[in-house]
Amino acid sequence: MEVTFFGVRGSIPVSGEAFAAYGGHTSSYEVLCDDIQIVIDTGSGFQNIKLREDIPVLILLSHFHHDHIQGFTFNNSVFSHQKNIFLSSALCAPDQLRDMLRTYFSGGYFPVDAVNMLSQLRFVEFNKISEIVDAEIEIESILLNHPGGCVGYSLTSGTKKFTYLQDNEFEDSQNAPLGAFIENSDLVVWDGMFTEAELPERAGWGHSSLEQGVAFAKDHQVRCLAIAHHAPFRTDAMIKNFEDEYGTDQIIMARENQRIIL
């Protein structure tokens, strides 16, 4: 299992010298196994993912805030892909997922009705993925604490497990269920958009702190926890300071184009 971070920024894409080292694209992650390519979220980083033609392609969406879907139609291989592209979300039914994307990429928000144009899109019920997509992969979900709803995902292929926990406002009541959900994970992606000092003014915004991620990793003996969803105002220098303070083999700061082989 290979996990590549194509977008690790939150809210909006950013650019410039101050953001070059850790990257400015919004959330998009590729999980590549021998028999399936899975993309989790299609933020602006999705434009740089080449969809495979030789194995099934599955796109999982955690929720529908713009920084997690805005890059969907800017990936050229979506339009050139000759086989089915499966899309699913544990947050809603396939018809609702299709309607959400079609609303965003048509009408007053986008120049063409992109979802209707793309006949290769197949919207799949989350609990029926294993029946429809031919691959040896176990996919589980968990409801997270975020305005409008959001889900986390775990992907298990053989002996390797990857867990994705973005857009979650961590509460103490989540400690046990999230701990059970990430059990035996080789890599966990954590929403560390804010610091503990920033959280009080942003209560209800739906995000956790990097310090909460550090504590969670230690409490549950996480093998590797990548802190991501960096705030758009968070410069490379600021993230590097966090890395110097908290970085270990167990805690890393997610970087765009970073590839981890599990």
Give the whole-angstrom CA distance, residue 126 versus residue 86.
11
Measured in degrees and rounded to the nearest 5, phi and psi for residue 10 equal -110, 155
Residue in this structure with the two tokens 């979506």, named with its chain if needed: 78
Name the 3-class secondary structure at 121: strand
Q: Which domains does the chain have, with CATH numbers?
A: 2-257 (3.60.15.10)
Paired with 152 in beta bridges are 142
Paired with 180 in beta bridges are none
Contact by Cβ (8 Å): 177, 211: no
Q: Number of C-alpha atoms within 13 angstroms, CB side, residue 203? A: 3
Per-residue pLDDT of the chain (262 residues; tens, 9 = 90+): 999 999 999 999 999 999 999 999 999 999 999 999 999 999 999 999 999 999 999 999 999 999 999 999 999 999 999 999 999 999 999 999 999 999 999 989 999 999 999 999 999 999 999 999 999 999 999 999 999 999 999 999 999 999 999 999 999 999 999 999 999 999 999 999 999 999 999 999 999 999 999 999 999 999 999 999 999 999 999 999 999 999 999 999 999 999 999 9
Give the whole-angstrom CA distance, residue 48 versus residue 83.
19
Contact by Cβ (8 Å): 238, 210: no
The token pair that represents 43 in the structure block: 């933020």
Quick one: pLDDT at residue 183? 96
* DSSP for residue 222: -
Give the whole-angstrom CA distance, residue 158 versus residue 217.
23
